[in-house]
Structures are given as C-alpha cells and as structure tokens.
Structure 1
Amino acid sequence: MLQLLTSPRTARTVRGLLGTVADAVRSVVAPASLAERQADVEPVTAPDPAGLYEADEIPAVETIGAAAREYERAADQARRADRGKRAAKKILDKLPAGIYGGWKVSRTPSSRQTPDLAAITRIFKANGLGPVPMKRCADSLKVEAVEVPAVPVAV
C-alpha cells in the first residue's frame, strides 16, 4: 500500500490535482491572476512553408473565399464525425470479438509501425548519445472568418 502512495505516477497525479484545485481556488478568489498569467503568452505563428503562390499567381479573392468556406465546412464535419466515432469506439473497444445483431466485431493486427521511443531512449542513455533527436510535426492550417472593414471610395 505504501508503495502505491509513493510511486512516481501517484505523485504526478497528486501534483496535477493540486494544481487544478489551486487554479479553481484562484479563479474564485482572484480571477484576474489567471488571466494575467496567460496574457504573457503570445500566440505562436509558424513561418510560411515553401512552394507558395507567387504574387502574380494568387487566385481571385472570391476563389480564396470559396475555398476557405469549403475548408471550414469540411473541418467542422470532420470534427463532428470524429466526436461521434470516439463515442461509438468507447463502447465497441470493450466488446469481445463476436457478432452482435448483424454487426461483426473483430480485431486485426495493424501493419503500421511506430518507433519505440522508450527503447530508443534507453539505447541512447546506455551509449551516452545524449537526448533522442526529435523533429517538429507539420504545422496546422487554420482558417477563420474575419470582418473586413469597408474601404471608403473617394469621389
């Protein structure tokens, strides 16, 4: 029992809970302190990737607007579909393989592989190679509607 209370995982869980409780108390006692702490963080923007349109190749504003609307619509549909898929998977993941009312539930081994970072880290440490080299994931494309002020026309 004592080992359970002193394990690193338990310590992280307790620290996380204490941080959550502290934030909850601060939000009641001094809500501005939480906002000030987050206000210092500036939003990070990624640099433009290679292969962008040249100035003379940029499509018409109407074409860009239509593409942005379509992207936003498709992204919203994908988010809704992903939420539904996750909710259904919570139930289906717990079922043993079998047939349930016309639906066959089974599992097949994946052909995909991913590096075992724990093993790689052990090898790097054992051979004194320093930290495991990492690279950033691809930047995310974000599209959002903004208000465009009307440009006054000089007569």
Structure 2
Amino acid sequence: MTVAVACAAACAALTAVPAQAHGPQGAEGEQRVPHWAVKDTGAPDVRFRGLAALSRDTAWAAGTLGTVLRTTDGGRTWRPAAGDPPAYRSGVAWLPHSRTAAIAVGPTGTDLTTDGGRTWRTVDTGSYDTVDCTPDRGCWAAGEKGRVARLEQ
C-alpha cells in the first residue's frame, strides 16, 4: 500500500465517524470537520520528532536539543521532563499499563524511564527513529537501513 493510499484511507475513516464524535455542529447544522488545535510548547527552537499520548490530557513530546516535554492539562502548559535523556531522541512512547514509564529512541540509543521522566537509563545503543507500544505490552521501534525491532525483556 502506498503512503498516499494509506493517508486517503485514514482520512476517509476519520471523516466517516458519526457526527456526534466530531463535537458540536456548526452553523445551520453543518458537521464540523476534525482539525488540529495547535498548542504552544514554549520551545520555538526545538523540532519535535516524537509524540506519545497517554490520554486526551497527558502527552510527551521528544525533539532536538535533547528536549522532552510533558503536558498533563491538554497542552495548556508544557514542562520539561525532570531529567532529559542523555542525547537527542526522535521517538517516545508510553509503556503499556503505566502512567510513569516511557521509552525514548534516537540515533544513539534507547532510554527508559520508570519515574515519569525524572531519570533515564540507556537500555540499548542501536539507532532507531520511531517507537510505538501496544496495550498487550508489545513495543516496536524502526530506523535506518530497514531496521525494525521488537523490545524484549
């Protein structure tokens, strides 16, 4: 499947959701279309490459300059993780069934926090660009040279 076909399918699925899922109706009963509501992180010099949402209100963003920010109020405020990973990380994901554990990946390794970002421990030195975890405790990372990996205990 090409990227264009995948994007078209995702957009079609999103817009096929019943009207009540889109929120209130606009003027004269027209349906509102989903849109991005930009949230100011207060970090204009950072290019965010990874984002992990735990809920509608709680998310982490990882980016350049070794920056990891966290919001717990739907993006109204963003705070730096108490301790950033030791190097640039391009992807971040919440570990399943935890509100304080996350994994961050980048070109120089993988780091793990189990205390809400106060401390990070390097667990791998492989180069990865993105990471995602599933509810059944599966975590996957992907990167350069066709590399895809599953996190093992």
- Which TM-score applies when normalising by structure 2? 0.21
Between structure 1 and structure 2, the one with the greater Rg is 1
- Which TM-score applies when normalising by structure 1? 0.21
* Structure number having the greater helix percentage: 1
* Structure number having the greater strand percentage: 2
